[in-house]
Structure 1
């Protein structure tokens, strides 16, 4: 039997999200093996959003984490994660929520990003008023041009401002290069090294710890000096997009969606219960899901609760047949489900709550 098959799929209501804990553990092991020590990893939890997955990472010796929302930060604190970076520049009410979080969970060290003097000054005032001095990382623009400050005199001035402003304390540099997605490892390495060189030149003056990269450039940053922290996230579950795009990485799919045929459309098409609400729909239609037991199925239409696929003539499929799909983009797919059912030896054994899919937990 293939690794993904359920022994009693007829008992499972669909669409459903399933995860394979043993595969997750192996992916965590492989990530640690790549960097040489769990101390070099600062995994992003935006992929799994799960206390259970967090526990597996903690059990493997990982103590530093990265997240994108206050809810993800609180989920980590509830699991007693020692070190949590909110990889976001908190603006407006989010700053006050972060201050509340820091006070509520004193055993976790929280930090956040800054890339702008005005924003840094405003958040510092909020933190200082709350009696806090919050560690901050300078977010450096290494080419993605989404957030981050230019790695030159502008960044040096921001560092000096932060160092002199009550309420914040600059402790490191952060550079995310998610725009580098070349399938060719040599070309990806060249571009990654160019971006990283921008940070290292800046750091000749500052001498700060560096957090670098995401999943696509993980194998490149993993080979750097032992004091460079790597922050991939997708590796825990992996997905079809990264498996196709980066075959140099050894991770294995550990999260799938399960769907059923709910209608037959003529002689060649099937309708499945896998709509926009069940699989991340931001990619073009052919790049949303790939079926392990139906790789030839071609998606031709999707709505909120339905996915129509072309199966070809004489396909032999019947209403009720089960398909197992690998998401092309697993992170936003996880956010569509409140829980993932755990599968071991083909049997559903429990569930992992995707607690941090919500925008708030208690704050």
Structure 2
């Protein structure tokens, strides 16, 4: 194991337990700023970690704009002192009333939400007007992932015009998430991202020509972050997420990103059910199970370990070195997908220079806090 992952005393760390290596986290934040050049161009997504303390570190580095996916995350950001929040999730049902409550609770916070359909736009405008409030709305664009959003074109222009003309709403710009761009080859990814940008910028230019304000373009994801960061356009706010903690999956998909995994899960052997089998206390309640079975995690100190079975509290691996391990032995595992992994833990243990220095709550792991 690399010395940067040294933990001098693990005897009081309950397993499975998520560990944040603070020095690596801070180094990732510095690299993120270096890559974009100016922290004012950043709007990192807090869904990766959901922790107040990481937001405080980002604020101290001049990263003042932030992105969230849930009202719990937005509330965590506001409570931590963030004054500019993009809730990148189209509001329907009770979330419209929650937006009203949020605006009442934090009137000094600039909250932008997203929309891609006239019906929720109408309902949101009615709710805000009835409360004597206004809220900023970004037009959510479909850049090719086909998950949410409206394709750039005349329908997008009409919907943006509707947002601008709806009492209670402020047309606040465009949201262009391109999570489909997972090309491992940087040049291929750059071509795909530039095509997205060309479509978005043409729409922006058309809206401006028609007299509509487009004060910001909230653009990109972790993989496209360096490409959007290289585009010289003052309206772009780039939105990295995973690189704050980094993980196995993004390390493999985007080898050009020079970030280091800063989060691991401490796990212990609980059984040796066969000559080549080791069972860890690392079930899918402790580490994300959305990747394929063989790719759930990586053990730096047991690189040949192949996960073959996972249940709620168990992970069974096959390894030629299985005989070296006995119940109680410890390993660190790097999640393949860290964002849902962090949501599985109520709190994390924070380590710096080998010492346990703190414990941080994963404050926004739930869908609801108070709003």
What TM-score range do you get, normalising by the shorter chain?
over 0.9
| Aligned counterparts of 2:137 and 2:299: Cα–Cα separation in 1 | 43
Task: Find out whether 1:357 has 2:365 as its counterpart.
Answer: yes
Alignment CA distance shift 1:316-1:140 (3 Å) = same
Contact 1:80–1:108 (CA under 8 A) maintained in structure 2: no
> Deviation string for 1:146-189 (max 9, x for gaps)?
11111000011011111111011111111000011010000011
Task: Find out whether 1:199 has 2:200 as its counterpart.
Answer: yes
Aligned to 1:216: 223
Name the count of aligned residue pairs: 363
Q: CA deviation at 1:218?
A: 0.7
Aligned to 2:43: 42
Task: Find out whether 1:266 has 2:269 as its counterpart.
Answer: no
- Which of 319, 338, 348 is matched with 1:340 structurally? 348
> Deviation string for 1:211-241 (max 9, x for gaps)?
1101011111010124111001111100000
Contact 2:64–2:84 (CA under 8 A) maintained in structure 1: yes
Aligned to 2:133: 132
| Aligned counterparts of 2:113 and 2:150: Cα–Cα separation in 1 | 15
| Aligned counterparts of 1:8 and 1:226: Cα–Cα separation in 2 | 49
> Deviation string for 1:87-138 (max 9, x for gaps)?
0111011011111011111221111001111111111111111111111111
1:8-87 to structure 2, matched below 5 A, reads 8-87=9-88
Q: CA deviation at 1:315?
A: 3.3
Contact 2:285–2:312 (CA under 8 A) maintained in structure 1: yes
Q: CA deviation at 1:5?
A: 2.5
Task: Find out whether 1:276 has 2:284 as its counterpart.
Answer: yes
| Aligned counterparts of 1:326 and 1:165: Cα–Cα separation in 2 | 47
- Which of 248, 251, 263 is matched with 1:243 structurally? 251
| Aligned counterparts of 2:336 and 2:45: Cα–Cα separation in 1 | 18
Under a length normalisation based on structure 1, what TM-score does the superposition of the two structures give? 0.98
Q: CA deviation at 1:314?
A: 6.2
Contact 1:264–1:271 (CA under 8 A) maintained in structure 2: yes
Aligned to 2:211: none
SS in 1 for 2:367: coil
1:88-127 to structure 2, matched below 5 A, reads 88-127=89-128
Contact 2:71–2:368 (CA under 8 A) maintained in structure 1: yes
Q: CA deviation at 1:10?
A: 2.9
Q: Which runs of 5+ in 1 are unaligned?
A: none
4+ residue stretches of structure 1 with deviation over 6 A?
none
| Aligned counterparts of 2:223 and 2:337: Cα–Cα separation in 1 | 13
SS in 2 for 1:355: coil
Aligned to 1:297: 305
Contact 1:42–1:66 (CA under 8 A) maintained in structure 2: yes
SS in 2 for 1:295: coil
| Aligned counterparts of 2:290 and 2:321: Cα–Cα separation in 1 | 29
Alignment CA distance shift 1:295-1:167 (3 Å) = same
SS in 2 for 1:349: strand
Contact 1:47–1:234 (CA under 8 A) maintained in structure 2: yes
Under a length normalisation based on structure 2, what TM-score does the superposition of the two structures give? 0.96
Aligned to 1:180: 181
